[in-house]
Structure 1
Amino acid sequence: MNITIHYAFLPHTDAEAALGFYHDMLGFEVRKDVGYEDMRWITVGPVGQPATSIVLHPPGVDPGITAEERDTILTLIAKGVYGAVTLASDDLDGLFERLEAAGADIVQEPTDQDYGVRDCAFRDPAGNLIRVNQVG
């Protein structure tokens, strides 16, 4: 049996800013861009890896969520403690330099961690934490 990660979901609070970050800064391809009323679900992923995607979705749109709960979700997103994903790169320093030059919200410069990985961290426009590990 082979199990893979097909989709990961992260909220976005501004679809155009999310596209600017994931497509323009990270270089991900846009696989789907679906709108409904004033909301958008955008599926992005690394070029050449069609089986792995991130779905950027409007936060708190489940019909079972109250207005108060939605406000709590938006508060947590703004604090940067709601969503996170860890990516991997074979050129961590080069990616970091590119993101820094493009104005990404840097949380941590490339660092050799005590637990054995070299990584950096930044936030996407919604505040989601994006960590990147050096691989290879």
Structure 2
Amino acid sequence: MRFGAIGLYVNNIEVMVKFYRDVMGLNLDWDGSAFTAIEMEGQIHHFILCAREGFENSIPEISNWNKGINGNMELCFDVPNYSDVDKEFERVIKAGAKPVYKPTTEPYGMRVCYVADPEGNLIEICSGNDDISHIE
């Protein structure tokens, strides 16, 4: 087996498509339906957004969704340099992401921050590729 996709089941697919396309910069081509996917480079082949209502109708055993910030999973976006973490954090906050954890250089050497999408899914922006001596 190989890892093929990451999917998010969403309450408002229009809002979420706009967020991941316009704020996070993913190349989403959405036709207005209850589902969209984009091809990704590397080991994960697709990022999927699917309306929860349609999923619940096809699999009624699924009916308990997280509320608020979803700490059960995250989407992680790598950037080339430590300073890019700070720049992207500011950019996505200004564009509408919810701040969760400001850019911080962790003891294990990564520069990380967290934001949340409109439905509370955690998004990490990180880098491990820089000299940290000039960053607080």
Normalised TM-score (structure 2)? 0.73
Structure 1, residues 57-115: CA drift from partner, whole Å, max 9, x if none? 1236253334xx41x22xx1444234422121122122111112113101011111122
Give the aligned partner of residue 98 of structure 1.
91
Give the aligned partner of residue 12 of structure 2.
14
- In the TM superposition, residue 12 of structure 1 has moved relative to its aligned partner by 1.6
Is the counterpart of residue 122 in structure 1 residue 115 in structure 2? Answer: yes
- Structure 2: runs of 5+ lacking an equivalent: 130-136
Is the counterpart of residue 24 in structure 1 residue 22 in structure 2? Answer: yes
Moved over 6 A (4+): none
| 3-state DSSP of counterpart to 1:81 | strand
What's the Cα RMSD here? 2.6
Change (3 A) 1:105 1:45: farther
- Structure 1: runs of 5+ lacking an equivalent: none
Aligned match for 1:65, one of 60, 74, 90: 60
Aligned match for 2:35, one of 41, 51, 55: 41
Deviates more, 1:86-95 or 1:121-130: 86-95
Distance 1:4 1:89 in 2: 24
Change (3 A) 1:6 1:129: same
- In the TM superposition, residue 33 of structure 1 has moved relative to its aligned partner by 4.2
Normalised TM-score (structure 1)? 0.73
Aligned match for 1:108, one of 101, 110, 115: 101
Give the aligned residue type for 2:92.
Answer: L
Identity of aligned residues (%): 24
Aligned match for 2:76, one of 81, 86, 110: 86
Give aligned pairs, total.
123
